[in-house]
Amino acid sequence: MPASQPRSRARDRNNVLNRAEFLSLNQPLKGNQESRSSGRKQSGQAGAAGAQSTNPKERRQSQQLPEEDCMQLNPSFKGIAFNSLLAIDICMSKRLGVCANRASSWGGARSMINLLGITGHGIPWIAGTLICLVKSSTLAGQEVLMNLLLALLLDIMIVAGLQKLAKRKGPYDINPGLLDYLTMDTYAFPAGHASRVAMLSKFFLNHLVLAIPLRILLVLWALCVGLSRVMIGRHHITDVLSGFVFGYLQFRLVELIWMSSNTCQMLISIW
C-alpha cells in the first residue's frame, strides 16, 4: 500500500490534464455557471445601488426626454417623402429669390417687383372698393362692391389666422413692410398676396363682363403677383400655391354667403 501511493502521485503528475492550462476542462459546468450567475447578481446589485444613489431629479429628466431627442432608426415613408419635398421646396425657392436683396442677380429690378406686389395688397384694394362704393349709384354695382368688400375682409382675417397657426418663416430673412403689418401679413404660409389675387381674379371673372384679352390679362396678373412674392424672397413656392388654393376657397365661401341687394342697402344706410 505505501508503494502504491507514490506511484499514483507520480501518475497524477505525469497526467497532461492535470496541468494548469487544462484545469478548466476538468471542472464541472455547474460550478462555472454558479460563479457566472453570482458575478451577474453582484453586478446587478452594484448597478441597482448606483441607480439608487443617483439624483431623483436626473431620473425624472431622463424619463421625460422629448421624442425629438430620440433617434428615429426606422422613419416612415410619409416622413421621408414630406422631408424630401420640403427640402426641394426650400432649395427651389432660394434659387428663384433673385430679387431678395440688392446684391442678388436681379437686385436692380427689386423696386419694380415690389411695385407689382403692391397691386395685390389688401389695403389698396379695400380703399379702392370703398371709394367706388361711395361713388356708385346703381343697386347692382353696390351689391357687387359690398360683397367684394366682404371678400377682402374675410381674406385678411383668414390668412392672418392661418399664418399665426403655421408661423412659417420665408426662405430669406426679410422684414415685412408697413402695409404687411397693417394687414397682419407677417409670416410666409400661406401667401396673402397669392390668396387675394386668386380670389379677386375669380370674383371678377364671374361677376364682370370682360373681353377675352382682359380675362387672360387678369389671370396672368394673378400669376405674376404670386411669382413676385417668391422672387423677392418673401414666400416659398408652396406658400404661393397654397395661397392660390385658399383664395379659390374664399371665393366659394363668399358665393355661399352672398349678400342680397336689400341686405347691402341696409348696410349702406347704417354706414
Give the other-Cβ count within 10 Å of 257's Cβ: 10
What's the rounded Cα separation, in Å, for the pair 32 and 85? 59
Angle (deg, nearest 10), helices 77-96 and 237-256: 100
Task: Mention every residue, 6+ apart, whose C-beta is less than 8 A from residue 192.
Answer: 122, 155, 156, 159, 160, 163, 180, 183, 185, 243
What's the rounded Cα separation, in Å, for the pair 217 and 268? 32
Place of cell 445601488: 49
CB 253 within 8 A of CB 120: no
Residue 157 vs residues 40, 203, 221: alpha-carbon distances, Å:
66, 18, 23
> What is the SS3 string spanning 236-251?
CHHHHHHHHHHHHHHH
Residues designated catalytic: 193, 235
Residue 223, class by beta-carbon neighbours within 10 Å (0-12 exposed, 13-18 middle, 19+ buried)?
A: middle
Which DSSP string corresponds to 117-178? HHTT-HHHHHHHHHHHHHH--SHHHHHHHHHHHHHHHHHHHHHHHHHHHH-PPPSS-----H
CB 202 within 8 A of CB 140: no
